Amino acid sequence: METNKLFIETYGCQMNTYDSEVVLSILQKSGYTICEGIEEADLILINTCSIRDNAEQRIWGRLDLFMTEKKKRRLYVGVLGCMAERLKDQLLSHPAVDMVVGPDAYRELPKIIALVKAGHREVETTLSTSETYADIEPVRMDKNGVTSFISIMRGCNNMCTYCIVPYVRGRERSRDPHTIVEEARTLFNAGYREVNLLGQNVDSYLWKDPNNPTESTNFAQLLELVALVSPDLRVRFSTSHPKDMSNGVLYTMAMYPNICTHIHLPVQSGSDRMLEKMHRKYDVAKYMERISKIREIIPDASITTDIIAGFCSETEEDHQATMKLMREVGFDSAFMFQYSQREGTVASKKFPDDVPLQTKTRRLNEIIEQQSAISLECNRKCIGNTYRVLIEGTSKRDAGHLFGRTLGNKVCVFPALGHKKGEYVDIKVESCTSATLLGYIVE
């Protein structure tokens, strides 16, 4: 018997997590309830990522598993998100898949599901120039009830040559700031104490009032509006772009103590030749200017980054330039990857993926090893200092310890002493690893 039980599985970025919460909101209005396992589900939706090949390979494996479940009972399976947009025909040819739905078509899911139940196989991957889901209140699927995400914009206009995102998420469009502020207020009233404003490039956020073209809101102004919801609501954001991050954003961060002093500023490479080939629209000198301005306006800011090893034609000299930039900036941490060519990108059409896998792997390992040492050095500078920490939950390694993050996004672990998640505590740092600060509560 069909019970309208929904199971959603999410892969990839924080934006996908948010999108899954939007999907759940839409389908709850159509009578679906969320369930914890695929064995209970009447409908399985898998929200996918296309950034790297290994993310896609995992999806194919999951679809094979879902096919096994379909043989046991009546069950419908849908593929959502970026991979749905990129590989719609291949996905629909998999025997497990009943529907393929792109990231701008989630409002159509109830209609699509009805058609599938009537015996059709459905594809809807039309990209929109206006869809932001601003009027849909997401149903939060996170378990901690302390921190949550808010999407402020969708799509991307940057067209970096290695990146598939503009092709699977469409052109950039910004969401009405009033709906963003209201969503933040709703979360705060529900007990959440931190929001993370999400966009592919938050610094290019710009909303223009359709009823009054002279009225607009940029990202610095939006940050201020959200910060004013409550001084007890922390505000984070990601991701920034070096070519777009304005001094106005930095001054706004410095003005409000509840705006977190963490900036994720992807550099990708320390070689001007590579940056030009990646179409990043800045060079190393301009990137370092941004770093200097951040340090000037927010001296205690934590700066993190993304780095790609082994992009097309990367030489040893290019690689060493990246290693040099890492040392000069002293990133607190980094997301580090070896280049994975994505079909459909400019790079896949114009540049041979000619760096041998063994060389990519060796360079990536060198980048990781150096960043680990830099992160440890950054964290050692925190020893003896006291930081305000928002408790997010219990330590996985020790039930008697809690963990939370500083304003600078550094993870702290400390004895619980009767405190619980959602509280703010002051932590004095005693020791550290390259990834974690260890300390105790200062009452």
Q: Which of 370, 386, 382, 390 is nearest to 433 (CA)?
A: 382
Residue 52 has pLDDT above 80, yes or no: no
Q: Do 142-260 and 262-380 show the same overall fold?
A: yes
> H or E segment at 252?
helix 247-255
In this prediction, residue 213 carries a pLDDT of 81
Q: Residue 440 in contact with residue 400, Cβ under 8 Å?
A: no
In this prediction, residue 13 carries a pLDDT of 87
Residue 68, CB-side half-sphere exposure with 13 Å CA sphere: 7
Residue 173 has pLDDT above 80, yes or no: yes
Q: What percent of the chain has pLDDT over 70?
A: 100
Task: Assign domain 386-441 to its CATH architecture.
Answer: Beta Barrel (2.40)
**Alpha helix positions (H), 102-246:** 109-117, 165-169, 177-189, 219-227
In this prediction, residue 440 carries a pLDDT of 97
In this prediction, residue 1 carries a pLDDT of 52
> At 51, is the pLDDT very low, low, confident or very high (cuts 50, 70, 90)?
confident
Q: Which of 337, 234, 325 is nearest to 285 (CA)?
A: 325
> At 402, is the pLDDT very low, low, confident or very high (cuts 50, 70, 90)?
very high
For residue 287, what are the contacts with CB-CB under 8 A and spacing of at least 6? Answer: 242, 265, 267, 325
| pLDDT tens per residue across span 268-305 | 999 999 999 999 999 999 999 999 999 999 999 999 99
In this prediction, residue 143 carries a pLDDT of 76
| pLDDT tens per residue across span 403-440 | 999 999 999 999 999 999 999 999 999 999 999 999 99
| pLDDT tens per residue across span 333-375 | 999 999 999 989 999 999 999 999 999 999 999 999 999 999 9
- Cα–Cα dist 28/364, whole Å: 44
Residue 129 has pLDDT above 60, yes or no: yes
Q: Please tell me the CATH code under which domain 142-260 is placed.
A: 3.30.750.210
In this prediction, residue 132 carries a pLDDT of 94
| pLDDT tens per residue across span 178-230 | 999 999 999 999 999 999 999 999 999 999 998 888 899 999 999 999 999 99
79, amino acid identity: V
> At 2, is the pLDDT very low, low, confident or very high (cuts 50, 70, 90)?
low
Q: What percent of the chain has pLDDT over 90?
A: 92
Identify the residue whose tokens are 């990834």.
Answer: 435
In this prediction, residue 364 carries a pLDDT of 98
- CATH 3.40.50.300 assigned to 262-380: no
Identify the residue whose tokens are 């060389």.
Answer: 359
Residues 253-262, mean pLDDT to the nearest whole number:
98
Residues 112-118, mean pLDDT to the nearest whole number:
95
Please, what is the average pLDDT of the chain? 95
Residue 265, CB-side half-sphere exposure with 13 Å CA sphere: 28
DSSP 8: E
Q: Please tell me the CATH code under which domain 5-124 is placed.
A: 3.40.50.12160
- What is the distance, to the nearest Å, from the Cα of residue 319 to the centroid of all Cα atoms in its chain? 26
Structure tokens, 239 = 């991701």
List the chain domain ranges: 5-124, 142-260, 262-380, 386-441
Q: Is this prediction's pTM over 0.75?
A: yes
In this prediction, residue 55 carries a pLDDT of 81
